[in-house]
Chains A and B, each alone.
Chain A
Amino acid sequence: MIDTLRTGDLVRYTVNGKTALTGVYITERDGMAVIKLESGYNIGASPEKIEFIERPAARPPAAAAAVAQNPDLPELAILSTGGTIASRVDYRTGAVMSQFSAADILRVIPELGGIARYRDHQIASILSEDMQPALWQNLARAIYDEIRAGVEGVIVTHGTDTMAYSAAAVRFMLRTPVPIVFVGAQRSADRPSSDNAMNALCSAAAATSDLGEVAVVMHATTNDDRCAIHRATRVRKMHTSRRDAFQSIGIEPLGCVDYPSLAVSLSGEAVRRGAQEPELQDSLEERCALLQFYPGMPASVLEAFEGYAGLVISGTGLGHVSSGLVPGLREMIEDGTTVVMTSQCLNGRVCDRVYNTGRDLLAAGVIEGEDMLPEAALVKLMWVLGNESDPERIRRLVQTDLAGEMQRRSIP
């Protein structure tokens, strides 16, 4: 029976043989018919208790109110990859619909219209865990095109899970004179408490500010008082769910945006607007991997990466793996794989010159990744190997700070 029902159909639900209630059929789930009663509550009922009444005439979609944009304001591009910073709830069915166009986003967060005018471009509509290097490249190219078209800044909406990876990738592939701001929401945009609006507004403020590099802008604390501006190559998602999950590791954030004033303050470290000419170098070597070492990890694990162009290891402490892995790594390196060592401590600098195994790793050809975050090192390696083939030059590039991913000095 429920095979013929469609979302929105009016149905009768007979509760216990006597009382009947009308409701709207929503969907089937776990063999039950999910219906929305007049009170607004959903319940699941066995299909035999449901009876079709009628199918309402298809409603023409509500004419969306036109959104006026202010031509006197700076122009920003909003590129979306799937991260939802705006959504609408259809209370009739309970469905939550993500909004990606600039017009739709402005309807949900109208205050954005007081900061800039917007053009939009949807790169992808995926959960960020489904992101791939090929999409990073599409994103970098699209951003480059927008910069060439003359926008004053770019906002990229992105799922928070892998936002740091994408931001780092764009940072390596693109030299930019304007701010490129990555933003997402930790709380779903359909809820009144969502951090979507505040994050979006702070991002727009950052995208029209004097900043001139790629950054991630998200809540700085659990309060709705301030967003932090994080350098793309030194930011990491450090909590599964909190609003202030994103933190700069090893350096201070580049600045912050106060809320609700939207006043932007930048540190002396932040690259300023106009400091660079736009340049795109979008080749990436995708056959690079990131491997976290753990005690007892068998050398056979390395076989999975045979033939890879690059391998970043997230080792323990100062950058260590067990001595049993050294021969396998030596062989990989001799076969042409570039191996870079980072630390799963995340904080601090790798130094393989202190202990025996570390020295053996160096002798085998492993490159110390200095104080790079493992994830940033992976992205960097993909870019370096995509743009360089000479091993000596590769080694030099890996150990040189190209995009703020590495500090020359460890500041206490």
Chain B
Amino acid sequence: MRDYDALGLKAGIEIHQQLDTAEKLFCHCPTVLREISERRGEFQRYLRATGSELGEIDRAAREEMRLVRKFCYYTYDTVCLVEHDEEPPTPMNPEALEIAFTIAKMLGMTPVEHVHTMRKVVIDGSNTSGFQRTALIALSGALPGGCRVETICLEEEAAQRVEGDTFSLDRLGIPLVEITTAPCMRNPEEVARVAAYIGMVLRSTGRVKRGLGTIRQDINVSIANGARVEIKGVQDLDLITEVVRREVERQVNLLEIRDALRERGARVDQNVVDVTDLFSGTNSSILKKARSILALRLCGFAGLVGREIQPDRRLGSEFSDYAKKCGVGGIFHTDELPAYGVTAEEVARLREHLGAADEDCIVIVAAGKERAGCAIEQVMTRARMALEGVPEETRKMLEGGSTAYMRPLPGAARMYPETDVFPVTIEPGFWESIPVPELLTDRAARFVSEFGLSEDLARQVAFSERLPLFERAVAAGVRPALAARTLLATCRELARDGVEVDRVTGDEMLALLSAVEAGRAAKEAIPEILTELALTPQESGMTPEERVDAAIRRVAPAVSAADVEAVVRRVVAEREGFARERGMAALGPLMGVVMKELRGSVDGKVVSEALRRELERLIS
């Protein structure tokens, strides 16, 4: 267990959450995601890097322009000219602004008095206009535990990458809140706790989208003498702790590698050597088909390039990530050779050709001439960074929690005003009047005290998507425990057994629970009735209540008190000897027989009462 304090670990989180609004942030399209098979058409565009005032292209932008790319966009009948970058934006969606301010208030933040929408340059293709519209709406809040929330921004979601340079426009423009904390977390567990808390606050509004991809978490990690690294796309709350732990390991290892390199007097060669001819007779499939093979000598790097810095990742993996930006498949390096069809003899020849000593590592790239040249330059760049320590980067999460390089950390200076959207004045009255919803944790506690639900069930219900339905049921007089168990456990079990419980509407659920409360069906019959409802096709003209009653009739026709008496009497009479012998102890076994006959149409308590009476009558 690392001493994170001694390492000077500083971590922060950035959470992006989609809002469940009727319309998108800057147009009137619905916030629905579509299947790409439903697309109405597609169009192609180029994006150009724009220079800043000093004539420099933003370093992240320059990185993206390394390959000249054409972008293709899929469009739908729920997408308009604004997403096509063919029409100016509408004013900012007031519903989205309201939800964003609600969240800000729940996090104890101070609203910006005059909200300005900015254009944030993004040229990876995910925004058709080449920028993302984003506005800072609140500052400076606090979390329990003392960590600060620095900012909340309201911004447009980006288009979804389909593959390569093709994007789908359905997602573009959905409102997103971006919540950024200060780098105030000091250990991996704290990061996970803060992420969970903020996630709970968001869900407490009841106005955020739920489901895969609707919330994204990015984590910033740095250690003393390391560098600030942004890790994007940490979806699972459970993985957060591991990701932070592994990033610390990675930075610690990179610093150790740097120290070792310095001790060895290591350096990176300036010259790239063309070794295509050296491999003319090779059996390596990759090297065989490459038009150009270039090599670079890294003096003093032997053994360190192949050194593991994270589970399944080596320094060489970092070199490879950088090289891949040029469109090559990867690199080879002598720390892992001979392998991949490259023989020891070929390695020896390579070493000799480059004049490499034993403590030197050689990296080779095989591809077309331009790509190979570009890739080997990238390796040179990254190798030089290894001599300095840890580079500032944006990285993406891999399965298991290790990370890979994505792009350089973006510079700050690439935002300018979105002049097509006027600033919004936030009156103090508006801010005061925003109602603050109950936190889900508070609601769960309330369910325990008010409804007597167990802590576990209370928490499940409070956090469930079915919470509104539960509250409706309780308001309609359904016992909370019954409602909770039916909506959660019963439905889950049925779903596991292959019943399409999702086809049963909320209104039908409510009608069923009410029917059970009214005694028209036994609670034991609920699974059967739900199954029946799920199987029956939706017919127009029938109300939910009518459908439920029809299902009850088919599956568990109501049994009158007289019928129950009759069945009980018959069953006891048929087993009179057994009943007399066992006395009241016969109740249990006879219950089973009667319930089976009644096919669960009657509440067990009613049957038990009737049996008890009959047995007593018999025995006495």
Contact = CB atoms under 8 A, between A and B. Distances in A.
Contacts of B151: 39, 41
B45 interface: yes
Given A40-B118, A41-B415, A46 B113 contact: yes
Contacts of A224: 44-46, 70
B413 A92 contact: yes
B81 A96 contact: no
A30 B112 CA distance: 14
Given A30-B114, A223-B43, A19 B48 contact: no
Contacts of A191: 50, 119, 129-131
Given A37-B136, A190-B416, A91 B114 contact: no
B53 interface: yes
Interface in A338-397: none
B423 interface: yes
A242 interface: yes
Contact of B423 (A18, A30, A41, A198): A30
A243 interface: yes
A273 B49 CA distance: 35
A18 B86 CA distance: 44
Contacts of A34: 114, 116, 423
A41 B140 contact: no
Contacts of A19: 110, 139-140
SS class of chain A's interface: helix, strand, loop or mixed? loop
A241 B50 contact: no
A43 interface: yes
Interface string A83-124: 000001111101110000000000110000000000000000
A88 to B, nearest CB: 6
Interface string B464-485: 0000000000000000000000
Given A44-B116, A243-B86, A192 B123 contact: yes
Nearest to A96: B416
Nearest to B65: A192
A15 B123 contact: no
Contacts of B139: 15-16, 19, 21
A242 B55 contact: no
Contacts, number: 146
A29 interface: yes
A194 B47 CA distance: 8
B425 A30 contact: yes
B506 interface: no
Given A62-B54, A192-B131, A224-B70, A197 B140 contact: no
Of B81, B130, B151, B416, which is in contact with the most chain A CB atoms at under 10 Å from its CB? Answer: B416
B398 to A, nearest CB: 29
A192 B129 CA distance: 7
Contacts of A411: none
Nearest to B153: A41
Interface magnitude class on chain A? 35 or more
B120 interface: yes
A39 B136 CA distance: 10
B17 interface: no
A126 B51 CA distance: 24
B329 to A, nearest CB: 27
A38 interface: yes
A53 interface: no
A41 B45 contact: no
B81 A223 contact: no
A90 B413 CA distance: 9
Nearest to A108: B51
Contacts of B87: 240-242
Nearest to A62: B54
B44 A197 contact: no
Contacts of B136: 37, 39, 41-43
4 nearest A-B residue pairs (beta carbon): A44-B114, A192-B130, A40-B415, A41-B136
Given A90-B52, A108-B51, A194-B48, 5 more contacts: A34-B116, A39-B412, A41-B151, A107-B55, A193-B130
24 contacts: A16-B139, A19-B110, A34-B423, A40-B120, A40-B415, A41-B136, A43-B115, A43-B136, A62-B55, A90-B52, A94-B415, A187-B85, A191-B129, A192-B49, A192-B123, A193-B45, A222-B86, A223-B45, A225-B44, A240-B87, A241-B81, A241-B87, A242-B81, A242-B86
